[in-house]
Amino acid sequence: MKLQVHRTYNFNAGPSALPFSVLEKAQAELIDFRGTGMSVMELSHRSRTYEEVHNQAINNMKELLSIPDTYEILFLQGGASLQFSMIPMNFLKSGKKASYVMTGSWSEKAFSEAKLFGDVYHAASTKEGNYRSIPKIDQLQYNAEDTYLHLTSNNTIYGTQWTDFPDSGDVPLIADMSSDILSRPIDVNKFALIYAGAQKNLGPSGVTVVIIRKDLLEQANTSVPTMLKYSTYAKNNSLYNTPPTFGIYMLGEVLNWVRELGGLTAISERNEQKAKLIYEAIDSSNDFYIGHADKDSRSLMNLTFNLKTEELEKKFLEQAKKEGFVGINGHRSIGGCRVSSYNAVPIEACKAFSEFMIDFQTKNS
């Protein structure tokens, strides 16, 4: 007899919702993985069975994102936060500069870390407008001699997202895509390096994916500790030391799930449909709900808004919690409300929340 499972409306910003079918499969395989008599968490990372899991995850990533053979796919640890340091350690050259586009808290943190290793500056910033927008591509000011140009593709705290990316020419373009990777088709060829923590769209926390162009690898600084060199992972298929095996297994299953849904075109349409439900409730509310991001910069992943008064906002959040909506408090640094509608959040959850918003407005106007 199958047990009844209670599932909440999970809008957590990360770790975030995982596809229910993936969780069910992981549960079924947890004790005895593929007839080994062991959990995938117990397998040696040098075993043939785990190697198949590992390589399948890499191949799935290549297929879904149409990644050419000129790139390496690496599985690291330390989250995007470690990448903030690894990138300048590996690529910020002595006597050269790197440029950063400032669109929120995570780009600020990346910039602060890079300053420890060399000369960096702002290619653009929307901080004066409280990060309500993404800069226009023609507003970016960087130099052809820069060692790289860095941006954050989606801003979880402020709810903004790039809709297009610059063609940076000979300047390597590096992107933190932690919160919107795999949410829509992108042209990987525009980027020299993409990095992403897994815990939003790719799987559970503990895995960091890096997609890096091979020619950039060849340009890396050599006086970097072994475990902080990208080349260490590239030369060893990310198996130089013990990787987060269970997280990589789950990542591979999430990628299978996306493929079964129809790939990135299908997932993008689904994400647009989900976001539309929430944004329509905001836009039709006559400023009962006040969106944070400018409309042309709105994120499909993190939908941010406030209510007219703090008292009303508090009541809204309390009532939403009672109704089973989890994770909709805005980030502690700015407050307000935030609906994180990552890939695995069902359409039904966004529909239910939209209906709750409309009902709450009716009862409190």
Active site residues: 106, 176, 200
* Sign of the alpha-carbon torsion through 293, 304, 19, 50: positive
Q: What is the DSSP letter of 61?
A: H
* Cα three-residue angle 243-88-217, rounded to 5 degrees: 60
**C-alpha dihedral (146, 170, 220, 119), degrees to nearest 10:** 10
Contacts of 18 (CB under 8 A, 6+ apart): 203, 204, 250, 254, 344
Output Rg (C-alpha) for the chain, integer angstroms.
21
Closest to 100 in 3D by CA, of 79, 80, 84: 84
Q: What is the DSSP letter of 98?
A: E
Are 121 and 143 in contact, with CB atoms under 8 Å apart?
no
Q: Which residues pair with 329 in a beta bridge?
A: 337
